[in-house]
Amino acid sequence: MTIDSVRSCCRSFPHVEETVQWEDDLVFKVGGKMFAVMPLEPAPVRLSFKCSPEDFAELTERPGIIPAPYLARAHWVALETEDALPAAELKRQLRAAYDLVYAKLPKKTRDRRRC
């Protein structure tokens, strides 16, 4: 899991916006809402993303995955190591994070994004 591989994965989803926030965090959004965050500088957390309540419970039981600081109450997890998840599973989780956030967007916003 490199910055380039995460960027490539997230940017492959429709209408994804990529910004740098909080000085050195790469933030991926859809409809102005975050679904994944990756620090650009070395940090204790390598990647954070939104997940379903079921996935949150399952993922946080795995080694190297913790509730995301400040965002755990919204069912975000944080990967402490690059190999906490296999690449294919990470891609599935990032797509699920995107889908969860997209589904919560107002219908009017979702309809505009389909064009």
102-to-34, 80, 109, 110, 111 alpha-carbon distances in Å: 10, 26, 9, 7, 11
Q: Look at residue 103 and tell me if it is in a domain.
A: yes
Which range marks the domain in which residue 47 is found? 3-109
- State mean pLDDT over 39-58: 95
Total structural domains within the chain: 1
Q: Tell me, yes or no, whether 89 lies in a domain.
A: yes
- Considering the chain, what percentage of its residues have pLDDT values greater than 90? 83
Domain membership of residue 115 (yes or no) is no
The domain spanning residue 101 has which CATH number?
3.90.1150.30
Q: What angle do CA 34, 28, 59 make, to 5 degrees?
A: 70
Q: Given this model, what pLDDT does residue 113 score?
A: 55
- pLDDT tens string 65-109: 999 999 999 999 999 998 999 999 999 999 999 999 999 998 877
pLDDT at 108: 78
